[in-house]
Amino acid sequence: MAKLCIALDTNLQQAKDLVRSLRGYPLLFKVGYKLFICHHRAITDYIKEEGFELFLDLKLHDIPNTVKEGVLSAKELGADYLTIHISAGKSALRSAVEVKGKLKLLGVTLLTSLDDEDIQDIGFCRDREGQVFHLTELALKEGFDGIVCSGKELSYLKEKASKPFIAVVPGVRLEGDPVEDQKRVVSLEEALSAGADIIVMGRSILRAENPVKRVEEILLKL
């Protein structure tokens, strides 16, 4: 059964209210730049105290020692999952794995806000699936626990990857939801069919008239 991860891309009070209202539900909460930069432990400690897993979405991308120190800091916060850009390179990935302990490291392949034209602009020589597969294999060979990718590439990765991995799929939309700044989006059903282990959803829940009811509806489909 896939897990539902709620992206808390909102203000501190709304985030804490939502976490509290969902106490006891089988969820994990993702904290990204919006909350982490301003509020740090005020939200990460709160999530842990309420009994949820903490998904720290910082997408580390730096020199090996800096990435290593970031992993150590994430462990101090009690994070259960941490994202790192695979394009930081083999040495940075290896440094992260050396100190991760029980922390699950998730390698970011290509952001779901990028389409084929964007990928060409960046200068990648491989096609989209080939690039995502290459990055996935790099991360898995260095000991990463999972991969963050669009549901559009996941079936291919599940079939071709050299070892099993935790598949994290962002950019998931419910019927009628606006796509906005995302480009390689999939429906909930498509993500599950492709083999997603963790479904990341934010705006579909945060903007719902009744977020708790929306979460309950989604959980019934997992």
Who's near 11: CB < 8 A, 6+ residues apart?
none
What is the dihedral sign for C-alpha 130, 132, 138, 141?
Answer: negative
With b meaning 16 or more CB within 10 Å and e meaning fewer, what string describes 67-79? bbebbeebbebbb
- CA separation for the pair 16, 11 (Å, rounded): 9
Q: Which residue has the tokens 């806000």?
A: 113
Question: Any idea which residues carry the catalytic annotation?
Answer: 59
Q: Which residue has the tokens 């903007």?
A: 207
Q: Which residue has the tokens 């897993």?
A: 53
